[in-house]
Structure 1
């Protein structure tokens, strides 16, 4: 086994392959899908060019990685390891922790509540458990029927809408679509927006089919406040789940942080829940 210090798209490709290996071996273990770090690539980050380790087996296939991601309010430190691998978390995380020690940044991590070894690692390194968040799973065959939008609203995707600014550009910058198209799992047919009667964006959601694992991930979902409470979120997500199934997804996944979002997603059929604990280390 060997490791390399990778950054940018090279690291993204390796981490994508690692997460796909994990999902094939363990259908619901861990925290992330291969599409998650591809979604994080949507805008430039300070962490893009910071080298962090990816470990490979003798066949050159990735088996573990330490991933730093500079988010808006905190950095994330994700330790990803193939099931059964005995590589200690301390060895895996050491270069990433050294990078964090050079910066005054709050750091967060998500840990499945039943992963006592990973939780112990973060606690030993000064992280404290805070709020819980959730993921929900559903067989694609159990997806709800596509719901109708309110009168005057219409659904569009990036494959057919042409060249207007991407609906996520306001929150993620003008390069969001170009960055998404650099990833391997982005599908413009599954990049949806709901337009209001005046053609302004009422909501958007991105659906990620993974042909290798069969998992279809929903990330993100947004309904603008002025259009909330009209059933737009339910209709948009039901349409996206149908597109994921059409793209070959056999299992569907979504994550949430609030009870309100959880109520919507359970109504859609996401009832196989996983609880994840947020661990946080504040700037000292």
Structure 2
């Protein structure tokens, strides 16, 4: 087993392969989440940003674990359940690379190899911090798309990167400034496993995009990830976010998927998305908790 540093899109694809072949309802990542996390903002596809690092552990040509330090104080990781010892190596690598005195890691509750390595490295699960909850929906029980007068639902067209980016920005910028732009969305549309037929928007009577839902289908597992969903402020309260998500999920089922996954906040400080998805039939499964440690 060897470790190497991230060197471009081929390594992202290898990380996604790990996520696909080991996916379960308790997995940290779906391949689509990695694509979104890498390309939602303008980036060099080969070179990581300052203050960011990715390490990959490989065995016989396949990735068996990775650590993604999105910042010196924040790590994401996933390891092959068949190679649980890699989790400790990822944390050792992160400690050597990071100079942050306070560090955080997200881990799925019940992921014994990762939780054990975190505890051994001095991290503690923080039940007092916001957390996320994986939710699953059997697409055989998918509800119909409601009729909302004055609106229509359709997939994005390949030439619409700028308009698609704009509706995302308008939906999210009242929460925090969005880094999505036309260039980054165009690159995202070229990334595996993006499919334009699973990227849906709601349009108003004038044809303007006012809500959106992006779904990522992993053909290896037949599981689609909903990430992200948004509605522009002036059109909220009319059921558009749920309706456009259902439209995208119907397209997902037609594409051959069997399950859909989404991971909204699970704590009571931000209940809106959780209520939306449970209202569509999603059922909660595993929680994703923040673990922290201090290095003085």
Query: Is TM-score (shorter-chain normalized) higher than 0.5?
Result: yes
Q: Does 1:159 align with 2:157?
A: yes
| TM-score between the two structures when normalised by the length of structure 2 | 0.81
Q: Does 1:260 align with 2:256?
A: no
| Aligned with residue 84 of structure 1, among 82, 85, 89 | 82
Q: Tell me the CA shift for residue 242 of structure 1.
A: 0.6
How many corresponding residue pairs?
273
Work out whether residues 231 and 240 of structure 2, in 8 Å CA contact, stay in contact via their aligned partners in 1. Answer: yes
Could you tell me which runs of 5 or more consecutive residues in structure 2 were left unpaired when the two chains were aligned.
170-177
Distance 1:2 1:273 in 2: 34
Q: Which residue of structure 1 aligns with residue 110 of structure 2?
A: 114
CA RMSD of aligned residues (A): 2.7
Distance 2:64 2:230 in 1: 34
Work out whether residues 7 and 51 of structure 1, in 8 Å CA contact, stay in contact via their aligned partners in 2. Answer: no
What CA deviation, in whole Å up to 9, does each residue of 1:174-221 have, x standing for no partner? Answer: 312222123110001111111223444321110111111111110001
How has the CA–CA distance of structure 1 residues 163 and 118 changed in structure 2, closer, same or farther, with 3 Å as cutoff?
closer
| TM-score between the two structures when normalised by the length of structure 1 | 0.84
How has the CA–CA distance of structure 1 residues 173 and 96 changed in structure 2, closer, same or farther, with 3 Å as cutoff?
farther
Q: Does 1:56 align with 2:58?
A: yes
> Within 5 A, what are the aligned runs for 1:196-275?
196-257=204-265, 258-275=270-287
Work out whether residues 75 and 108 of structure 1, in 8 Å CA contact, stay in contact via their aligned partners in 2. Answer: yes
Work out whether residues 147 and 239 of structure 1, in 8 Å CA contact, stay in contact via their aligned partners in 2. Answer: no
Q: Which residue of structure 2 aligns with residue 66 of structure 1?
A: 67
Work out whether residues 147 and 234 of structure 1, in 8 Å CA contact, stay in contact via their aligned partners in 2. Answer: no
Q: Tell me the CA shift for residue 116 of structure 1.
A: 4.9
Distance 1:262 1:51 in 2: 31
How has the CA–CA distance of structure 1 residues 86 and 115 changed in structure 2, closer, same or farther, with 3 Å as cutoff?
closer
Could you tell me which runs of 5 or more consecutive residues in structure 1 were left unpaired when the two chains were aligned.
none
Q: Tell me the CA shift for residue 88 of structure 1.
A: 4.2
Work out whether residues 223 and 232 of structure 1, in 8 Å CA contact, stay in contact via their aligned partners in 2. Answer: yes
How has the CA–CA distance of structure 1 residues 96 and 8 changed in structure 2, closer, same or farther, with 3 Å as cutoff?
farther
Distance 1:57 1:145 in 2: 45
Distance 2:70 2:8 in 1: 11
